[in-house]
Amino acid sequence: MTPARLPELDEIVAAAHVVAIPTRTRFRGISVREAVVFDAPEGASEFSPFVEYDDAEAAPWLAAALDFGWREQPAARRERIAVNATVPAVPADEVAAILARFPGCTTAKVKVAERGQRLDDDLARVRAVREALGPEGLVRVDANGGWSAAEAIDALAQLAACDLDYAEQPCASVDELVAVRRGIGERGIDVRIAADESVRKAEDPLAVARAGAADLLIVKAQPLGGVRRALSIVERAGLPVVVSSALDTSAGIAMGLHLAAALPDDLLAGACGLGTVALLDGDVTASPLVPERGSIAVRRPALDPSLLERYRAAPDRAAWWRERLARTSALLRSPR
């Protein structure tokens, strides 16, 4: 998890800029996305674990940021990455406006199982996406572990009418994912199961593959400790993957693009969830990594000083992030 060369804390802090960027639509309960971006020797990088994560969970995100910012990355196998649209848990009548932010994307991932909403809300939203994309488009759903196994089986039985590509993390635990795969198989429901949190938040990210709990994996560069470690996990798991993001700025999206670009052809399972800068109402670069004709070029955009100033976090929040940097950096240096 630790980069080959771990820069000193003073160097890390000197390269850091703390930003707070509003979202266009409330997403994952977030209306302002906070992040630390680095003007690092190898190019812009990002450290943006969600604020509720403890230091131990945040440490791999810092390892990823330091590896990407201070170390040359694996060679790319492709120059552009196809991406999916991401549809938050919005009312069905807002779906068309969300999809318009992802020009050329023929695959969409739709958030479901949102707290305070009902399955009828999910059905309406997914149907609206299916109608907008047409029969040739791919529709995925992401429950973020929000259902029990029984709820997931019932929900997928109804959502399957929308011809789903896959259902991402319908339940929280590996055992529940196994039960869902078995249950939908017994009922003849043809929906693949993808694992996200069961990989990136697990002490053993390979457990889901060993248990036969998923048909494919969703991998994110930051929480898995960086491009190299994510590639190692993917190769050992032996399952096809989709690379996704965690509502990153373009600095973090670049890391995900480099991961997707380095994957062998037989392990990259279609459009990736790396178009989410379109959900932010701002960015840290004048050349944001947003979809063009359904894909994004693999590159590292430069940080823009005027945008870093415009979205500079309030002093108390900047101090909070600098303290978090110090604590997580200490964890990376501590013997194991």
Helix (H) or strand (E) holding 64: helix 55-70
* pLDDT value of residue 52: 94
**Distant-in-sequence, close-in-space partners of 121: CB < 8 Å, separation ≥ 6:** 89, 91, 92, 114
Instruction: Tell me if 89 is assigned to some domain.
Output: yes
Name the catalytic one among 109, 220, 228, 229: 220
Segment 279-304 mean pLDDT: 97
* pLDDT value of residue 2: 47
Name which of 190, 244, 233, 195 is nearest 216 in CA terms.
Answer: 195
Binding residues for Mg(2+): 142, 168, 196
Q: How many percent of the chain have pLDDT more than 90?
A: 92
pLDDT digits (tens, 9 = 90+) for 148-167: 999 999 999 999 999 999 99
CATH code (residue 20): 3.30.390.10
Side chain identity, residue 250? S
Residues 145 and 229 in one domain: yes
Concerning whether 201 is annotated as a catalytic residue, the answer is no
| Residues 196/227, Cβ–Cβ less than 8 Å | no
Residues 56 and 34 in one domain: yes
Residues 67 and 113 in one domain: no
Segment 184-204 mean pLDDT: 92
Residues 245 and 317 in one domain: no
pLDDT digits (tens, 9 = 90+) for 221-239: 999 999 999 999 999 999 9
CATH code (residue 270): 3.20.20.120
For the entire predicted model, the pTM comes to: 0.94
Distance of CA 224 to the CA centre of its chain: 11
Name the catalytic one among 33, 109, 111, 200: 111
Binding residues: 142, 168, 196
Q: What angle do CA 260, 266, 267 make, to 5 degrees?
A: 45
Residues 13 and 162 in one domain: no
Instruction: Tell me if 105 is assigned to some domain.
Output: yes
Segment 208-220 mean pLDDT: 95
User: Domain containing 55: what range?
Assistant: 9-73+305-333
Distances (CA, A) of 126 to 94, 106, 113, 193: 12, 14, 12, 17
